[in-house]
Structure 1
Amino acid sequence: MDPRSEVLLRQAELFDGQVLLAGLPADDLLGALPQARGWNWHAGDQALLAARFPGRSQFDTQMPAGDYCAAVLFLPKSRELADYLLQALAARLAGKPLYLVGEKRGGIERAAKQLAVFGKPRKLDSARHCQLWCATVEQAPQQPDLQALAQRYPLQLSDGTLEIVTLPGVFAHGRLDRGSALLLEHLQDLPSGHLLDFGCGAGVLGAALKRRYPSSQVTLLDVDAFALASSRLTLAHNGLEAEVIGGSGIESAPEALSAIISNPPFHQGVHTDYQASENLLVQAGRHLVKGGELRLVANSFLKYPPLIERHLGPCRTLAEADGFRIYSARR
């Protein structure tokens, strides 16, 4: 059981009824709270919850419909995303309790101050290195417009300008990160065919690929619902068409790909987690056609080449700058 869930269950009497659990982990919490419902934006967690508790959790960027007696927000890493989620929950909870739970190292004490907009925050419990806070929503705000919270920035490329659209909580919200900037400079001479942007975020690489290789089929894949929504907005704002899919890892990707291009993720909440990235290196060959290429950017200190060569083929370093390297290997 996730320690945040354990803290909630220490006060289980507070959550008896149709409570919405927003951002809940993929553990036994829904089993312990049989009337509760889940709202999730992590495709991996949602897949596990849907298998164990069919119909009780929804994968979306919008709060699920329902008449809830209370809601619990599991604190996300992004303050901007927490602001949006708290607003969305409070808008439907006039006169009802809104709870916030999170790890101390994740900034729960700071985040609890965000509850003060809706009512007086009260700390209810502290255990398992986590805290549980509550505020009764004294005056419900207006339902927030997610698209109005988007940030846009122009991206100057050799074939023209792309407008990138990012939503709260998406990696590198409102800016171009250094790794993607380097990879954008090395997208030439990719094999023709079906291209995959793995861990697409706001769709920077996927949009650039579709612009550069208009005759190629392009798919964008990410684990996060807000990233998927951002990618769709980026594509739409630039008049581009590509497939956007949610999935927890490379296992969710199509097969018979001619190339996989990635600035792979390595954070899960407040923790560093290289599992998705390393799994990409191990499994990429199963999704590539013969002669298909894996091209990715990674921090220079990561020992990826031996893993790539063990599971795919000879690994070349195409470029190195600002603490990042571009690796390429063909099946």
Structure 2
Amino acid sequence: MDPRSEVVLRQQDYLTGAVLFVNAPCDELHTELPPQINAQFWTWNYNEFLYFQNQNTHIHFGTQLPESEFEQAVIFVPKSKELLNYVLHNVLSRLKPGASIFLVGEKKGGVERAAKQLQPYGSTIKLDSARHCQMWQLISILQPELKPLESWVQEYSVSTPKGDLSICALPGVFSQNKLDVGTAVLLPYLSQVTSGKIADFGCGAGVISAYLAKLNPKNRIFSLDVDAFALASTQLTFEKNNLLPEQLEIKAVSGIEDAPLFLHAIVSNPPFHQGIHTDYNASENLCKTSRRHLKSGGELWIVANRFLNYPILIEQSFGQCSTKADQQGFKVLFASTQKNLKEQR
């Protein structure tokens, strides 16, 4: 069991009634809770949603709180300070003053910093410090009025040959405040991507998706991500730039295996973080298995840190991989499936 969950169980006497567990780890916590706790879970990670769903747990996926009532909340500290502010605001908006919110996290995950974010909302006390984790209790003194999701957007501009794009990034989304270096290296090559049915895997705030849509109004963009806040950001980015809504299809995915079939192209600045931990599984699977989602003659475009072994993985799947750019620590990699003879005629 995750050590954060072990700390929660050590302090289970503080929990009672309907309790909302936010951003909880995928472990056995839900099976170990005492009967006086009516537990429900909220996650914005699609992989975690699938885990809890398979465990027949009361689970909600999305950027908004579940509609069902709760009397207390246990928040597992997210990586992003801004995302924790969003979560706290939303949870407090649903609880009456005097209610308890519990914060639990790893010391290396910034739980002590996160505990300071509780202070404006009431009195706080450290309940436990064990397993390299801490658990804090907030007794709230206020109930803020819920702010709409759009009010949490960080907006910035990206220059392209087709004009500036306004990017809308919600809390916790990759590259929330400015364009990341990898995507900046990739952008000049997007005009070379074949037109048609294109998947943006790990769409983030929608920079790649929006530019591909702007390059050709006939492009159909499938924006894929594990994170509900990323998917919502991409939707907001499309709306902000007045792009055709029929060009965009947003889909929560656990990995590239959930992508549509018969794509003309897959474009990605692939993700490699899961919470505070580095995880290359999703991006390595993209290199190994994306071919099966491409039609004959379909293309794979990836930007990645130059030290990663993606070219080898792509070559093993596609038979070839070319480097279109190598700058600022990133490589733009390209591969394509072979057209069959019938399609060449």
**SS in structure 2 of the partner of residue 76 of structure 1:** coil
The residue aligned with 2:130 is: 127
1:240-262: per-residue Cα shift (whole Å, max 9, x none)?
22001111110111111111100
The residue aligned with 2:104 is: 101
The residue aligned with 2:195 is: 192
The residue aligned with 1:13 is: 13
Partner residue of 1:172 out of 171, 175, 179: 175
The residue aligned with 1:234 is: 237
The residue aligned with 1:260 is: 266
8 A contact 1:42–1:59 mirrored in 2: yes
**SS in structure 2 of the partner of residue 134 of structure 1:** strand
Partner residue of 1:246 out of 246, 252, 264: 252
Q: What is the Cα deviation at residue 219 of structure 1?
A: 0.5
1:180-218: per-residue Cα shift (whole Å, max 9, x none)?
011111113322321000000000000101111221221
Tell me the amino acid that sits aligned with residue 21 of structure 1: F
- Within 2, Cα distance between the matches of 1:154 and 1:113? 32
List runs of 5+ in structure 2 lacking aligned partners: 338-345
**SS in structure 2 of the partner of residue 121 of structure 1:** strand
- Within 2, Cα distance between the matches of 1:160 and 1:204? 13
- Within 1, Cα distance between the matches of 2:183 and 2:232? 19
- Within 2, Cα distance between the matches of 1:305 and 1:124? 49
- Within 1, Cα distance between the matches of 2:13 and 2:282? 37
Tell me the amino acid that sits aligned with residue 258 of structure 1: H
Q: What is the Cα deviation at residue 144 of structure 1?
A: 2.9
- Within 1, Cα distance between the matches of 2:262 and 2:25? 33
**SS in structure 2 of the partner of residue 310 of structure 1:** helix
**SS in structure 2 of the partner of residue 18 of structure 1:** strand
Q: What is the Cα deviation at residue 3 of structure 1?
A: 1.8
The residue aligned with 1:77 is: 79
8 A contact 1:314–1:329 mirrored in 2: yes
Partner residue of 1:281 out of 269, 272, 287: 287
- Within 2, Cα distance between the matches of 1:29 and 1:288? 40
Partner residue of 1:66 out of 65, 68, 78: 68
8 A contact 1:309–1:315 mirrored in 2: yes
Q: What is the Cα deviation at residue 139 of structure 1?
A: 1.8
- Within 2, Cα distance between the matches of 1:213 and 1:6? 52
**SS in structure 2 of the partner of residue 187 of structure 1:** helix
Tell me the amino acid that sits aligned with residue 277 of structure 1: S
The residue aligned with 2:324 is: 318
Q: What is the Cα deviation at residue 156 of structure 1?
A: 1.5
Percentage identity across aligned positions?
48
**1:309 matched to 2:315:** yes
The residue aligned with 2:340 is: none
**SS in structure 2 of the partner of residue 136 of structure 1:** strand
Q: What is the Cα deviation at residue 274 of structure 1?
A: 0.8
TM-score (norm 1): 0.96
**1:89 matched to 2:122:** no
Q: What is the Cα deviation at residue 176 of structure 1?
A: 0.5
Answer with 154-163 or 70-79: which moved more.
154-163
1:251-307: per-residue Cα shift (whole Å, max 9, x none)?
111111111100001111111111111111111011111221110100111111111
- Within 2, Cα distance between the matches of 1:189 and 1:154? 22
The residue aligned with 1:182 is: 185
- Within 2, Cα distance between the matches of 1:171 and 1:189? 25
Answer with 305-314 or 31-40: which moved more.
31-40
**SS in structure 1 of the partner of residue 315 of structure 2:** helix
Answer with 76-85 or 26-35: which moved more.
26-35
8 A contact 1:84–1:146 mirrored in 2: no
- Within 1, Cα distance between the matches of 2:334 and 2:295? 15
**1:139 matched to 2:142:** yes
Q: What is the Cα deviation at residue 14 of structure 1?
A: 2.2
**1:36 matched to 2:42:** no
Tell me the amino acid that sits aligned with residue 66 of structure 1: S
**SS in structure 2 of the partner of residue 175 of structure 1:** coil
The residue aligned with 2:341 is: none
8 A contact 1:313–1:330 mirrored in 2: no
**SS in structure 2 of the partner of residue 100 of structure 1:** strand
- Within 1, Cα distance between the matches of 2:98 and 2:40? 20
- Count of aligned residue pairs for this structure pair: 330
